[in-house]
A = this chain, B = another copy of it.
Amino acid sequence: MALTPARTPPGVLELLPLDQIAFQDMLDTIRRNFERFGFLPVETPVFELTDILLTKEGGETERQVYFVQSTGGLEKGGTPELALRFDLTVPLARYVAEHEHDLNFPFRRYQMQRVYRGERAQRGRFREFYQCDIDVIGKDSLSVRYDAELPAVIYNVFRDLKIGPFTIQLNNRKLMRGFFENLGVADGEAQTLVLREVDKLDKRGADYVRDTLTGEAFGLSADVVRKILDFVAIRSTSHADALAHLAALGQGGDTFNQGVAELREVLELIRAFGVPEAFYALNLSIARGLDYYTGTVYETHLVEHPQIGSICSGGRYENLAGHYTKSHLPGVGISIGATRLYWQLREAGLIGTGTSTVDVIVTQMDEAELPRYLAIANELRAAGIATEVVLEPGKLARQFKYADRAGIRFALVLGSDEIARDAVQVKDLRRQEQFEVPRAELVKTLRVELEQAAAMAAR
């Protein structure tokens, strides 16, 4: 038979088991923190009806959509009925609108699933990737206080991920809009265009942005552009510094003042939520690409790895599900692109191969003693210790080699001598040490060893 070469489609990240364990650890840490803050799990189908997913006309998003159809649908032709979700926000909007009367508001949900985009295949760009989102959705209204809760969740997640210092950067779209109105850029459309240019500051530099904004397309005066660039250059270095920057902005129109007041309240509450001041800052350049956000906006950056860009972003939006329901559903949310984050952390050497989920392997020194080995494994498993038993006979050295390659740390050896003494040899394959414990103390001893190993790994 002719062989079909085994290969994954381009643009996906498929992991070997020990890497999968490391990735799973990351997801577990994220999930644990989402749950600690009282967010509830939601999962939605991988596909949505096409008319639901593509309510917005045209645009970049639509071109990147993957359509789904069964063999029958394929034969019939026409627009496919289904398409893969490209984010978790549209499914959330559909979910909340569909189940509105069964949900409690403010509705606090987390969702950790894969999304799909028909991106051009290139290194570090994924067509399938995990997003880990939390959102709080209000009915009719939602206090700005929730805007301060999400940075507290972000802080807890990334602290627990142990990937070095990071800064949650804050801005407010009302502040920005009001600022532009003060400068005479009153039209919303024009503001959006200016903000889009300002968004390019990091990538293209100040000169490019200055030239563009004073150029024909925008026609702003040099003075106005200078004010804009001074404004977006504002970064705070401490909590007090952030408040001082806000005070120095002075008064403006209603929108401007409201933006300042919201930012101030959010900053004060972030501190009350227990986030140390080294971990949050004002950054008045943050606009977020989407026109979607209307208030607080967030980005999160690793201090020592700025090239990675924002590892967690989001913000406040005015109305979640206007396409599907007449209810007014304001919300605030953040998203962690876990697949890209994992890949980048691994590239940067910040994340290694995981420790095996298998704690202990029971070797097979004497085939006739297999029932004894199985009984030991039963006991360990009942004590919560993940245990593999070697079921194929073979040389001990080969069994150790298998265990070592598989990343299993502890191997148990029971030959006739140990059995006569009612003892077990424990071989620590990482330290290349071996010690004997009485059979009755095996579970206790292994628990201590595993707790120590976990504590070492957590440092």
Taking CB atoms and an 8 Å cut-off, the chain A residues in 366-390 that contact chain B are 370-371, 374-375, 378, 381, 384-389
Which of A's residues lie within 8 Å of B, judged by CB? Answer: 1, 3-9, 12, 14-18, 20-21, 24, 35-38, 40-49, 51-52, 55, 62-72, 74, 80-82, 84, 93-95, 97-99, 102-104, 106, 108-109, 114, 116, 118, 128, 138, 142-143, 145-146, 149, 156, 269, 272-274, 321-326, 356-358, 361, 370-371, 374-375, 378, 381, 384-389, 391-392, 402, 405-406
On whether the beta carbons of B41 and A7 are closer than 8 Å, the reply is no
Q: Are A52 and B17 in contact (CB under 8 A)?
A: no
Q: Which residue on B lies nearest to A77, using beta carbons? A: B77
Evaluate contact between A36 and B387: CB separation under 8 angstroms: yes
**Complex contact A8–B405 (CB within 8 A):** no
A103 to chain B minimum Cβ distance, whole angstroms, is: 7
Known: A45-B128, A48-B9. A40 touches B272 (CB 8 A): no
Are B70 and A67 neighbours in the complex by a CB distance under 8 Å? yes
A156 to B378, alpha carbons, bound, how many Å? 10
CA distance A260 to B276 in the complex (A): 68
The interface residues of chain B lying within 8 Å CB-to-CB of A12 are 45
Evaluate contact between B67 and A405: CB separation under 8 angstroms.
no
- Can you list 9 A-B pairs with a CB-CB distance of less than 8 A? A6-B97, A7-B98, A8-B49, A38-B386, A46-B46, A46-B116, A64-B71, A70-B118, A272-B375
Are the CB atoms of A43 and B64 closer together than 8 Å? no
Nearest-neighbour CB distance to chain B for A327, whole angstroms, equals 11
Instruction: Say yes or no: A42 contacts B20, CB within 8 Å.
Output: yes
- Nearest-neighbor residue (CB-CB) of A17 within chain B: B40
Contact yes or no, B361 A38, CB < 8 A: yes
A332 to B436, CA, bound (A): 35
Query: How far apart are A333's CB and chain B's nearest CB, in angstroms?
Result: 15
A406 contact set on B, CB distance < 8 A: 40, 104
A17 to B42, CA, bound (A): 6
Residue from the set A8, A142, A392 with the largest chain B CB neighbour count within 10 Å: A8
Residues of B with C-beta under 8 A to A44: 8, 14
Which chain B residues border A103 with CB–CB below 8 Å?
16-17
Tell me whether B67 and A388 are in contact (CB under 8 A). Answer: no
A393 to chain B, nearest CB (A): 8
Are B108 and A388 in touch, CB under 8 angstroms? Answer: yes
Name the B residues within 8 Å of A387 (CB-CB): 36-38
- Inter-subunit contact A3/B325 (CB<8 Å): yes
Given contacts A8-B45, A272-B375, contact A405 B104 (CB under 8 A): yes
A113 to B237, CA, bound (A): 45
Q: State whether A95 touches B324 (Cβ < 8 A).
A: no
* A108: chain B residues within 8 A (beta carbon): 388
Is there an interface contact between B71 and A358, defined as CB atoms closer than 8 Å? no
Of the listed residues A21, A43, A402, the one surrounded by the most CB atoms of chain B closer than 10 A to its CB is: A43
Contact present for B36 and A109 (CB under 8 Å):
no
For A143, what are the chain B residues with a Cβ–Cβ distance below 8 Å? Answer: 391-392
Instruction: Give chain B residues whose Cβ lies under 8 Å from the Cβ of A43.
Output: 14-15, 20
Give the chain B neighbours of A388 by CB distance below 8 A.
37-38, 108
A273 touching B52 by the CB < 8 A rule?
no
For A114, give the chain B residue with the smallest CB separation.
B46
Set B1, B324, B381: member contacting A3, Cβ < 8 A:
B324
Query: Contact: A145 with B324, CB < 8 Å?
Result: no
User: How far apart sit A321 and B6, CA to CA, in the bound complex (Å)?
Assistant: 9
Are A128 and B16 in contact, with the CB atoms below 8 A?
Answer: no
CB neighbours of A361 from chain B (8 A): 38
Does B55 lie within 8 Å of A65, measured CB to CB? Answer: no
Cβ B71 vs Cβ A118 within 8 A:
yes
Q: Is the CB of B68 within 8 A of A40?
A: no
What B residues does A114 contact at CB under 8 A? 46
Name which residue of chain B comes closest to A80, CB basis.
B74
Q: Is B391 in contact with A146, judged by CB distance below 8 angstroms?
A: yes
CA distance A21 to B38 in the complex (A): 13
Q: CB within 8 A of A378: which of B70, B273, B358? A: B273
- Give CA–CA (A386, B35) in the complex, Å: 6
Check A52–B4 contact: CB distance below 8 A. yes
